[in-house]
Homo-oligomer: A and B are copies of this chain.
Amino acid sequence: MRRVTEAKRLIIRPDAGSAFEETCDVLIAGSGSAGVCAALEAAEAGASVVVLERLEQAGGSSALSSGQVYLGGGTALQQACGFDDSADALFQYLVATCGPGADEEKTRIFADRATEHYEWLLAHDVPFKPTFLPHTETTNPPGDDGLTYTGSELSYPICGIAAPAPRGHNVQHEGSSGVRLMSGLLSEAAKLGIEIRTQCAVESLIQSDSREIVGALARSEAGKAQWIRARRGVVLTTGGFHHDLEMLRRYAPTLVPLLPIGVTSEDGSGIRLGMAAGGDVMGMEAGCIILPYTKPRKLVKGILVNAYGQRFINEDLYQAVHGDVAVHAQAGHVFCIADAEVFGEPMMDIPIIGPCDTIEELEGKLELPTGSLVQTWQTYNENAARGQDPVFHKSREWLEPLDRAPYRALDLRISSFPYPFFTLGGLRTTPEGQVLNSESEAIPGLFAAGRSTSGICARGYSSGVSLADATFFGRLAGRSAAAR
């Protein structure tokens, strides 16, 4: 093999296959939920599979996550908890909340097969307890309950677009259950003899002159090169690019001031490998931006105001809607106003302004235009006293006049409290996981899934949609690769 590399060594042209040191059917980069689900499907289809993981431990950001999977259409868990749902309602909800530019093709396929996907997870050591938790302090259940609302299902205007149902399927585990999701999937992988090689990353893809991806040059943490032939395909599942400042500046400048979450290996390495192989990208400007101020949950009863002292959104919408709107429509200049009853010490490290005896005093401290917050507050209180929110339609259960001094504001300006986020854009793929070039042709032998791709969470988010996308389309990518 000619060991001359192009594109900063991301792509290597092979001279002959003889130089490969080992051979597998399907090579997978990344051991998060997308990668391991791809590995399971590929192995079950009879393929020999090698998974490479850059970090010391397998599991990726999925293992650090809250372990909620957004599913619906009438899963066994939804039925056990007494909820009706339909594939159409699930589809409508996702299209309404994952845009602008939601991927209707992927979403339709996902919605139609979500109940089957739930059964597949169950069968792969991912358990769900058949209990429903109506309200939690966060979207992430503190206990091991199985079903919760994790988005804007009950909130105006979404509740009028898609019939509501709780769809957050929370893996059975006390607290953050991503670790249990991944331990289950990884134990299944071990049973099938799938090798997960940690501290080893794909450095270059090996691409023939006919553009087919035929293998990869991997490199271990210790620096050892490994030339791996992948007879059927390579699957890229290394996550997003939120930990790479250069890519953020280039493709998603509005996300630069925010706080990246997940494992630090989400630095766009897989996306860049795919791009170097000719892969197109989509939605690169988009992020899941979380504004997690409603812990304790009673803070939903507060009001969100902008730099002009105006309300601008229904406060009972999902926190990723708040984050997106705060950053992209309100220049990251947002406060939550609470009275003595509604205020609670936030679980996150959010600065508090106040207490103040009057709203006028608080308005001054927040440097809002004179009279603006007072006017907003008076109007809100008058309507709330009648159980109404005619402008933003906050649900009645969260409506009460904020008239009990003292008053405080949560300082939610991005300069004061960097919002957690991760990127949503990535390689453009078919539902089956084939990486497409700019002319919508598949690059032979190259597949991707999860946050290395633009998925069903194209440009909007509810909790659990990324894991749903990663696990479901990870499976499809693994199956496609194995079938070549």
In the complex, the count of this chain's copies comes to: 2
Docked complex Cα distance between A330 and B328 (Å):
10
Contacts A253-B459, A282-B250, A390-B369 known; A272 to B439 CB distance under 8 Å? yes
Would you call B438 and A101 a contact (CB within 8 A)? no
Would you call B439 and A7 a contact (CB within 8 A)? yes
Residue of B211, B379, B390 near A6 (CB, 8 A) is B211
Would you call B437 and A7 a contact (CB within 8 A)? yes
Complex interface: chain B residues within 8 A of A211 (CB):
6
Residue of B99, B254, B439, B459 near A10 (CB, 8 A) is B439
How near does chain B come to A107, taking the closest CB pair, in angstroms? Answer: 14
- CB closest residue in chain B, given A325: B329
Complex interface: chain B residues within 8 A of A249 (CB):
101
> Is A371 among interface residues, defined by CB-CB distance under 8 A?
yes
- Of A69-77, A194-202, A273-281, A467-475, the one touching chain B: A273-281
Docked complex Cα distance between A99 and B250 (Å):
12
- CB closest residue in chain B, given A331: B329
Complex interface: chain B residues within 8 A of A391 (CB):
308-309, 369, 372
Would you call A280 and B275 a contact (CB within 8 A)? yes
Would you call A437 and B276 a contact (CB within 8 A)? yes
Docked complex Cα distance between A371 and B99 (Å):
32
Contacts A250-B282, A280-B275, A375-B379 known; A438 to B99 CB distance under 8 Å? no
Would you call A390 and B370 a contact (CB within 8 A)? yes
Docked complex Cα distance between A278 and B10 (Å):
13
Complex interface: chain B residues within 8 A of A379 (CB):
371, 375
Residues of chain A from 411 to 455 with CB closer than 8 A to chain B in the complex: 428, 437-439, 441
- Convert A27-70 into 0s and 1s, putting 1 for each residue whose CB lies closer than 8 angstroms to a CB of B: 00000000000000000000000000000000000000000000
How near does chain B come to A438, taking the closest CB pair, in angstroms? Answer: 4
Complex interface: chain B residues within 8 A of A370 (CB):
390
> Is A285 among interface residues, defined by CB-CB distance under 8 A?
yes
> Is A8 among interface residues, defined by CB-CB distance under 8 A?
yes
Residues of chain A from 315 to 337 with CB closer than 8 A to chain B in the complex: 328-330
- CB closest residue in chain B, given A278: B278
Would you call B330 and A8 a contact (CB within 8 A)? no
Residue of B250, B275, B310, B428 near A310 (CB, 8 A) is B310
Docked complex Cα distance between A106 and B117 (Å):
49
> Is A397 among interface residues, defined by CB-CB distance under 8 A?
no
Docked complex Cα distance between A100 and B285 (Å):
11
> Is A398 among interface residues, defined by CB-CB distance under 8 A?
no
Docked complex Cα distance between A209 and B209 (Å):
8
Residue with the greatest number of chain B CB neighbours at <10 A, chosen from A101, A309, A328: A101
Residue of B8, B285, B438 near A275 (CB, 8 A) is B438
Residue of B253, B272, B372, B441 near A101 (CB, 8 A) is B253
Docked complex Cα distance between A395 and B192 (Å):
71
Docked complex Cα distance between A282 and B372 (Å):
39
- CB closest residue in chain B, given A253: B101
> Is A251 among interface residues, defined by CB-CB distance under 8 A?
yes
Complex interface: chain B residues within 8 A of A8 (CB):
439, 441
Contacts A7-B438, A371-B379, A375-B375 known; A100 to B276 CB distance under 8 Å? no
Complex interface: chain B residues within 8 A of A99 (CB):
253
Docked complex Cα distance between A285 and B310 (Å):
28
Residue with the greatest number of chain B CB neighbours at <10 A, chosen from A99, A310, A375: A310
How near does chain B come to A226, taking the closest CB pair, in angstroms? Answer: 22
26 pairs across A/B with beta carbons < 8 Å?
Answer: A7-B439, A10-B439, A100-B253, A100-B254, A101-B250, A209-B209, A250-B428, A251-B282, A253-B459, A275-B280, A275-B438, A276-B438, A276-B439, A308-B311, A308-B312, A308-B391, A308-B392, A309-B391, A310-B310, A329-B329, A329-B330, A369-B390, A369-B391, A371-B379, A372-B391, A375-B379
Q: Which residues of A are interface residues toward B (Cβ below 8 A)?
A: 6-8, 10, 99-101, 209, 211, 249-251, 253-254, 272, 275-276, 278, 280, 282, 284-285, 308-312, 328-330, 369-372, 375, 379, 390-392, 428, 437-439, 441, 459
Other A-B pairs beyond A101-B254, A308-B392, A369-B391, 17, CB < 8 Å? A6-B211, A7-B437, A7-B439, A8-B439, A100-B253, A101-B249, A101-B250, A253-B459, A272-B439, A275-B437, A278-B278, A285-B285, A308-B310, A308-B312, A308-B391, A328-B328, A375-B375
Nearest first, the 5 closest Cβ-Cβ pairs linking A and B are A101-B253, A329-B329, A275-B438, A100-B253, A8-B439
